[in-house]
Amino acid sequence: MINVNGEYYFKVHLQSMFLNEILEIKRTNLITFRGEAFFMNRWLNEEFEPIKYICLGKGTANPRKSDEKLSMQTVQKTCKTQVDLINKQIILSADFTALEIQDTTEIGVKTACDRLVSHDSYTIISSILDNVTSTVHLDYYFKMGTGSVRGNWKVSDEENNVYRIYEPNTVVGVIENNTNSGYVRKTSIAELTPGSYYYNKNTKDLYIKNSSNSDPNNDEIIVQTI
């Protein structure tokens, strides 16, 4: 199975008389049904126009695969694009002012004809976007990977409903196919919440908490790898 998954990075340059550092915020996003149709058709024909925009908004609804637009779009930027063949990814990039980013809560990628390819929600701490911040750089990646439905999840923490499997290939995404939910990547087991995963690159163990906080062996879990 071939999968396309997305990641994006906000890179905030905090600079003043007393401060000079880069703050990165990294998240994964949900590919919409429109986005799946976009990638499939672009492989075969030119029915869909290319990706052109990164847009931000202030909507509060949870992203769904059926979304066709942001809940409340506030800004849209034409993005620069490039192909990284070595890492099998497409890279989109755009710069936003701190004012444009302030109080936004959702992000999307759109084609030239306004089709929403991906959608996600996020939280940026407003205090970092003050007068010392001039530009917020955004990198958006669509990565090509392989994936398959995985079962036989073993209990790792019964009390907190954390389950695990061994996965020798690098995990880049987890999808709960029966609910069309993309899982959020976490950086430790302790951070796991319903609908999230953590992959330990050293031990090759994948840990998940399914969206209903129950046994994932009752779900159709797709693990995406590269």
Give the model's confidence band at 91: pLDDT under 50 very low, under 70 low, under 90 confident, else very high.
very high
Structure tokens at 190: 């302790």
Q: Which residues 6+ apart lie within 8 Å of 96 measured at CB?
A: 56, 75, 77, 135, 136, 138
The pLDDT tens digits for 8-62 are: 888 876 665 555 666 677 887 888 888 888 888 887 777 788 999 999 999 988 8
**Closest residue by Cα to residue 85 from 146, 4, 147, 143:** 143
Distance in angstroms (rounded) separating the CA atoms of residues 85 and 135:
29
Q: What is the CA radius of gyration of the chain?
A: 18
- The pair of structure tokens assigned to 15 is 């600079």
The answer to whether 106 and 58 have CB atoms below 8 angstroms apart is: yes
Instruction: Band the pLDDT of 71: cuts 50, 70, 90.
Output: very high
Say how far apart CA 65 and CA 181 lie, in whole Å.
8
Q: Which residues, in sequence order, are CB contacts of 156 under 8 Å at separation 6+?
A: 162, 163, 164, 189, 207
For 34, phi then psi, to 5°, come to -60, -40
Counting Cα atoms < 13 Å in the Cβ hemisphere of 189 gives 14
**Is residue 134 predicted with pLDDT exceeding 80?**
no
Query: Any idea where the domains of the chain sit in the sequence?
Result: 2-144, 151-225
From the number of C-beta atoms within 10 Å of its C-beta (0-12, 13-18, 19+), residue 199 rates as buried
73 pLDDT more than 90: yes
